[in-house]
Amino acid sequence: MKSRISDELTMLTTRLMMCGSRREIINLSGEFGKLIEKVIDEENKTYTPYTQIEKSITATIKFTKEEVANMAETLKKEFIANGLVARILKRESGLKHKKTFVYEIRYRRNGYNISASSKDIKEAKRKFIEMTKPENIDQYQVRIIRSEKNLFREIAAEWLAFKKGKIHERTYNNYESYYRRYMRATLGEKPIKEIRTLDIDKILNGKKPRLYEDLRTIFNSIFKYAIASGILTYNPVMLIPFKKAERISERRALTKEEQKHLLDRLSTNEFSSYKSTFLFMLYFGLRPCELSDARIEGDFLIVRNAKRKNGKIEYKKIPVPLQAREKLNLEQPIVNPHRTDVLNRIFKRIMGSEQITQYYLRHTFATVCQQYVRPDIVDIWMGDSSERLVGRVYTHFSDEFMKEQMAKVKFDV
C-alpha cells in the first residue's frame, strides 16, 4: 500500500512540475485531494503535504570547448572525454510566497566534488567554470586522511574514491552499498593487515551466488588496491574461489498489443508525464541508467554506454527513427525523472503486470531493428559490439550509412 501511494504521489508531483497553465494546476488539485482521502481512509495516517516534498528535475548541461578552455588541465581532459557535460538540477527555491527555481550544476567524478548554483542558469554556469580554473580547482578535490593503523574502512574509502568516475555511477553506488551493508560493521575498524582469509570467508559464506560474486569482487579489488599502495604484500582473497553466478534472463520484446497498450496508457493524464521517458527507451534501446547522459545532436542521439568496464568511456550514436520524430519533442532535454527502481514500478503499473518491466523496451528495440538491418549494426546501436564508438566517431560506418539503415526500421507503434 505504501509503495503504491508513493508511486501515485511521485507521478502527481511530476505532472504538477510540468504544468504550463493555471487550469492544469487546478485540475491536478482534485487528484491530490483524492489521494489525501485515500491515505486517510485506507491507512489512517497523516498525509505529507505537497509543499513539504522536494521537487526537482535532473538533466545534463553541455559546455562548449571555448568555455572549458581555461579549466585545470587534468579536469579538462576527462571533462572533454565525458562529452563536455555535467549534471544540472532544477529545484524550487523554497520561498513560500513566490515560485522561483534554483539551478545547480554538479560534477562528482574522479575525486572532484564541484557544485555551483544560481537562480539564473547562465550565472550558475559561469560560477562552475570559475571553480574549475587551475587556481581554484584544488579546493574541490576530495582528500581522504588515513590513520597510521590503515583501518579497513579507511582503505575501502580510498578505493571507493579511486573508483568513482572510472565505473558507471550505478555500479559505484552498488559497491558503496555492499561495503556499508556487509563489510563495514564487521571489518571497518580492523587494521587491514590483520584481516585474514577466514574473516572474509565468514562474510561470504551462505550468500546467494550473485551476491557472493559481487562481494568477492569488491574484497579482491580493495586488497589489490592496498597492495598497489604499498600497504600490504599479500591478498587474503586469493584462497577464496571465484564463482561466477549464472545469469538467467526472462526478458523479451513487447508484443504489438502490449506496445499499443503502452502508447494508449502514456496518452492518459495519469501517465502522460512519462511518455517521453519510456518512448526514448523504446525507440533508442536505452538502458534506464543511460537516460541522464542522453542528448540529441542533429539526426542522432548521443549517449554514454553504461556497460563499459574499467572506466573506459565510449559513446553510442543512434540515428533518430522516423516514429521518434513523430511522437517525441526532440527539442526538449531528455529527463530521467526518478531512480531506476521507482521508474520500473511505474512502468509495471502502466502495463498492468508485475512481470513486464521497463527492460522489455530495450529488447523490443533490438528485436524490431533486427528485422530490417544487419545484426552487427544493431549491436552498435545497442552498445554491445566490439565495433563501437571510440569517443564520438564511428570506426567503420559513416553517419549517412547509419541514417539509411535506421530509415529501414519500422516500429509497430
Q: Please report whether residue 251 resides in a domain.
A: no
- Please give the Cα distance from 379 to 387 (Å, whole number): 8
Query: What pLDDT score was predicted for residue 243?
Result: 86
Instruction: State the CB neighbour count (10 A cutoff) for residue 230.
Output: 7
Looking up residue 180, the CATH number of its domain turns out to be 1.10.150
- Please give the Cα distance from 352 to 341 (Å, whole number): 16
Contacts of 29 (CB under 8 A, 6+ apart): none
Q: Do 85 and 31 belong to one domain?
A: no
Q: Do 16 and 34 belong to one domain?
A: yes
Contacts of 296 (CB under 8 A, 6+ apart): 302, 320, 330, 334
Q: Do 14 and 78 belong to one domain?
A: no
Q: Do 99 and 122 belong to one domain?
A: yes
**What sign results for the dihedral spanned by CA atoms 269, 273, 279, 285?**
negative
Last-in-domain residue among 228, 244, 269 = 228
- Please give the Cα distance from 203 to 207 (Å, whole number): 8
Beta bridge partners of 105: 88, 116
391 pLDDT tier (thresholds 50, 70, 90):
very low
Q: What is the number of domains present in the chain? A: 4
CA-atom Rg of the chain in angstroms: 24
AA identity, residue 268 = T
Q: Do 260 and 396 belong to one domain?
A: yes
Give helix 209-228 / helix 169-178 axis angle, nearest 10°: 90
- Please give the Cα distance from 85 to 105 (Å, whole number): 10
388 pLDDT tier (thresholds 50, 70, 90):
very low
Q: Do 312 and 389 belong to one domain?
A: yes
Q: Do 77 and 183 belong to one domain?
A: no
Q: Please report whether residue 247 resides in a domain.
A: no
Mean pLDDT within 332-346: 83
Q: Please report whether residue 101 resides in a domain.
A: yes
Q: Please report whether residue 383 resides in a domain.
A: yes
Query: What pLDDT score was predicted for residue 413?
Result: 80
- Residue 296 is given by DSSP the state E
Looking up residue 291, the CATH number of its domain turns out to be 1.10.443.10
Q: Do 265 and 396 belong to one domain?
A: yes
- First and final CA of the chain: distance in angstroms? 33
Q: Please report whether residue 299 resides in a domain.
A: yes
At 178-236, the pLDDT tens digits run: 999 999 999 999 999 999 999 999 999 999 898 999 999 999 999 999 999 889 999 99
- Please give the Cα distance from 93 to 399 (Å, whole number): 43
Q: Do 87 and 160 belong to one domain?
A: no
Q: Do 7 and 42 belong to one domain?
A: yes
For residue 296, the enclosing domain spans 256-407
Instruction: State the CB neighbour count (10 A cutoff) for residue 287.
Output: 20
Choose from 36-40, 142-146, 387-391 the range with maximum mean pLDDT: 36-40
At 76-119, the pLDDT tens digits run: 877 777 777 888 888 776 655 566 788 889 887 766 788 898 88
Last-in-domain residue among 208, 228, 248 = 228
Q: Do 272 and 382 belong to one domain?
A: yes
pTM for this one? 0.50
Q: Please report whether residue 145 resides in a domain.
A: no
- Residue 100 is given by DSSP the state -
Q: Do 378 and 274 belong to one domain?
A: yes
Share of the chain above pLDDT 70, in %: 78
